[in-house]
Amino acid sequence: MRISGIFIILAAALGVAAFSQSDSTPMMNSVDPESGRIGDVLTVQGTDLGQNLVAAVYLTDGKNDTKVEITLQSPTSIQFKIPPEAKTGRFALMVLTKGRDARYIEEPVKITVEPLPGRPET
């Protein structure tokens, strides 16, 4: 009886640890504006986006990833600048998480990079 009580406490503790870990997965919900040109700053809103959880943000087309410059970061938003090496087109946002089990997570938010005036589309 005593061993089963210890097992229940241990299982509950592990369940809480697993729940809190999954609870801190960065999630982007929206971006404003939804398009921009090289050098423009966009703001993404979501949850668990703070510096303690998100190491970097990328534009991705599923094959090529382009790191963006984060200009401001809080637990609920990230401002980033579209970098000079960004191609024109439609891209998903992707985060690199921090920590021992760092991973890339493609977010459900997309942006459009527009060509600069006088610059041919790439």
- CA–CA distance, 119 with 122 (Å, rounded to integer): 9
Question: What's the pTM?
Answer: 0.78
Domains of the chain: 26-113 (2.60.40.10)
Q: How confident is the model at residue 7 (pLDDT cuts 50, 70, 90)?
A: very low
Q: pLDDT above 90 covers what percent of the chain?
A: 75
Residue range 10-33, pLDDT digits in tens: 445 544 444 444 458 999 999 999
- Token pair 């999954």 is at which residue? 22
Please indicate whether residue 74 or residue 14 has the higher confidence score (pLDDT): 74
Residue range 34-54, pLDDT digits in tens: 999 999 999 999 999 999 999
- CA–CA distance, 116 with 101 (Å, rounded to integer): 38
